[in-house]
């Protein structure tokens, strides 16, 4: 594995203006993310996007230190070097709607110092082709569907062959085929780059990653392999055919419901998946003082 | 024995004409044709650069700067249309005469410096630029992008204002008396916007400008507000603003 490692030490980040009543968004005491693919799981508001923005050097931590590939992100010169090998895909709520798809990619490529124009165009064609957007490259971004917008944002992160790719919810709005394509691409590039991806798709995406981090209420509550995370659901994962009112209950088939908690009546033990382990870890963290 | 035969013998193969394996690898051949056709189509289908890009390249703007200029939000048609509308409104005001001409001249000179000011406020920043996060995460020098955007806005706005000022009545050099105030207000805004929301800074500067104009024009005259002595003050403010921008470049480069 040749991608850069990420080391996070005593990082805290608050929402607000630094007053005493500001909400703590993130508190990561000691975390090392090795090369390869890493999934960041967590419920809404757990601090996943905040964490990814820090790693993508979009935000700076209010306290603590982050090293990427041995470089301190707080140092401006080091940060520029990190950014030269960084691809970042945020959530696509806001995009330049009136811009053409190819002009947008050309603009991002110019920001990534890819030149001259001919080389930039080859890169743009290449990523649009891979994202299945080559036929709409002259359309305005505002005319794209939600899935296409997501593919566009994902695609631009790969411009310039980055060593570290940070993707925030890359599977949202994608159809099954494009989800499978992206997961395959992420898994296939694990040997040559580090990919850190925030997702809610525990079984689909996180299970293919080398390591998994679970955030809850801004804190890291689990770090390990997908297999180890699934193991957290051992002895606590149950399946039943009776519809059950429980926060962790989810349908896994016709008349089949899965619960991660104490054994409910008429339920049989089940082999936990990565998602089940994730639910168990989050439930445990909610019980912490 | 030629070089090819030497190479083939060295590789342990005997050259055999018209043998069972002779001839091109059809699959490879087909693949190459397809690949070349794809490249030819890509060249033929390559989007033609827009008129702005062509002009920028023609006048020698560096290759990596062209996309940044053409992506400036203030070059959008909606922005230009709003600017033209505001200027036409300013020029339509007409009633009493002032020391430097009809009311509309004063209205024009008051509103004109706000055009680049607002353009700059909408050119860069977390709340106004949808690509802001991608821009910050990119290796390109953020201060340079900031300057490129602001310069683009200034040039575009000044061009519009110059055209609009030809519609003013005969007022001599007062026709361009908005230029130094525009530079002063814009540079002050750029200097203050390094660490603050550019929209708030622009709103505060614009409010202060209008207040100053109203007070001075009421208390003294329009010629005091836009006359030669005032122009010297505006030039000084523009220079101070430019120095503040330069001194705060580190804050812009490290903006996150």
pLDDT of amino acid B102: 65
Task: Please tell me if residue A138 touches chain B, with a CB cutoff of 8 Å.
Answer: yes
Q: Phi and psi (nearest 5°) for A15?
A: -90, 145
Contact B134 A100 (CB under 8 A): no
ipTM comes to 0.88
Contact A209, A197 (CB under 8 A): yes
| pLDDT one digit per residue (tens) for chain B, 256 residues | 555 555 555 555 444 455 445 555 656 666 667 767 766 776 777 767 778 888 888 888 888 898 888 887 656 666 677 777 777 777 776 656 665 666 778 888 998 999 888 888 888 777 788 888 999 999 998 888 888 988 888 888 888 888 888 877 777 888 899 999 999 999 999 888 877 888 899 999 999 999 999 999 888 888 889 999 999 999 999 999 999 989 888 877 777 6
Contacts of B24 (CB under 8 A, 6+ apart): none
pLDDT for the residue numbered B20: 47
- Tell me if chain A has a CB within 8 Å of the CB of B31: no
- pLDDT at position B6, please? 57
Q: What is the pTM of this model?
A: 0.82
Beta-bridge partner residues of A11: A28
| Whether A141 contacts A103, CB under 8 Å | no
Chain A residue at shortest CA distance from B71: A107
Residue A118 touches chain B, beta carbons under 8 Å:
no
Taking only the tens of pLDDT, chain A with its 289 residues reads: 678 899 999 999 887 655 555 677 899 999 999 999 999 999 998 999 999 999 999 998 889 999 999 999 999 899 999 999 999 999 877 888 888 999 999 999 999 999 888 889 889 998 998 899 999 999 999 999 999 999 999 999 999 999 999 999 999 999 999 999 999 988 888 888 999 999 998 888 888 899 999 999 999 999 999 999 999 999 999 999 888 788 888 888 888 899 998 888 888 999 999 999 999 999 988 876 6
pLDDT of the residue at A85:
94
Element (H, E) at A235: none
How are beta strands B101-102 and B97-98 bridged, if at all? antiparallel
Kindly state whether B252 is in contact with chain A, defined as any CB-CB distance less than 8 angstroms: no
Q: What is the pLDDT of residue B156?
A: 86
pLDDT value, residue B18:
54
pLDDT at B135: 92
Residues of chain A in contact with residue B135, where contact means CB-CB under 8 angstroms, are 111
Instruction: Give the C-alpha separation, B117 to B205, whole Å.
Output: 9
Report the residue count for chain B: 256
Tokens of B98: 């002032």
pLDDT for position B16: 47
């Amino acid at each position: 594995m040749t991608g850069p490692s990420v080391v996070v030490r005593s990082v805290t980040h608050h929402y607000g203006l630094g007053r005493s009543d500001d909400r703590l968004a993130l508190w990561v005491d000691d975390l090392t993310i090795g090369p390869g693919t890493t999934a960041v799981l967590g419920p809404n508001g757990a601090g996943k996007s905040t964490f990814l923005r820090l790693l993508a050097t979009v935000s700076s931590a209010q306290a603590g230190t982050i090293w990427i590939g041995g470089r301190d992100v707080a140092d401006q010169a080091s940060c520029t070097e990190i950014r030269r090998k960084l691809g970042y895909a945020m959530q696509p709520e806001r995009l330049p709607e009136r811009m053409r798809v190819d002009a947008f990619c050309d603009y991002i490529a110019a920001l990534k110092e890819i030149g001259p124009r001919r080389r930039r165009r080859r890169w743009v064609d290449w990523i649009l082709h891979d994202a299945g957007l080559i036929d709409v490259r002259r359309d305005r971004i505002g005319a794209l569907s939600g899935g296409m917008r997501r593919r566009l944002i994902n695609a631009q992160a790969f411009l310039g062959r980055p060593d570290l790719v940070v993707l925030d919810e890359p599977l949202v709005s994608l159809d099954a085929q494009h989800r499978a394509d992206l997961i395959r691409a992420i898994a296939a590039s694990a040997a040559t780059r580090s990919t850190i991806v925030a997702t809610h798709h525990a079984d689909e995406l996180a299970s293919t990653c080398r390591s998994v981090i679970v955030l809850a209420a801004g804190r890291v509550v689990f770090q390990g392999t997908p297999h180890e995370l699934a193991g957290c659901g051992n002895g606590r994962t149950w399946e039943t055919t009776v519809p059950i009112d429980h926060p962790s209950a989810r349908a896994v088939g016709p008349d089949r419901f899965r619960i991660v908690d104490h054994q409910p009546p008429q339920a049989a033990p089940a082999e936990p998946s990565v998602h089940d382990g994730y639910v168990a870890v989050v439930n445990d963290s909610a019980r912490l003082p | 024995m030629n070089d090819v035969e030497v190479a083939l013998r060295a590789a342990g193969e005997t050259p055999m004409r018209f043998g069972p394996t002779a001839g091109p690898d059809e699959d490879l051949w087909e693949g190459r044709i397809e690949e070349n056709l794809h490249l030819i189509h890509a060249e033929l289908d390559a989007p033609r650069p827009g008129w702005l890009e062509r002009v920028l390249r023609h006048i020698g703007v560096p290759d990596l700067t062209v996309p940044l200029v053409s992506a400036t939000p203030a070059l959008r048609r909606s922005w230009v249309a709003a600017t033209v509308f505001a200027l036409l409104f300013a020029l339509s005001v007409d009633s009493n005469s002032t020391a430097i001409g009809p009311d509309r001249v004063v209205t024009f000179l008051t509103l004109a410096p706000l055009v680049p000011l607002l353009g700059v406020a909408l050119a860069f920043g977390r709340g106004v630029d949808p690509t802001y996060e991608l821009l910050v995460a990119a290796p390109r020098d953020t201060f340079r992008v900031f300057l490129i955007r602001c310069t683009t806005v200034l040039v575009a706005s000044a061009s519009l204002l110059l055209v609009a000022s030809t519609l003013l009545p005969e007022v001599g050099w007062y026709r361009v008396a908005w230029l130094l105030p525009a530079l002063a207000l814009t540079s002050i805004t750029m200097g203050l916007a390094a660490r603050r929301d550019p929209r708030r800074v622009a709103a505060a500067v614009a409010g202060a400008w209008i207040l100053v104009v109203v007070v001075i024009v009421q208390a003294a005259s329009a010629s005091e507000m836009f006359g030669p002595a005032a122009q010297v003050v505006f030039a000084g403010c523009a220079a101070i603003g430019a120095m503040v921008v330069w001194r705060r470049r580190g804050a812009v480069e490290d903006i996150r």
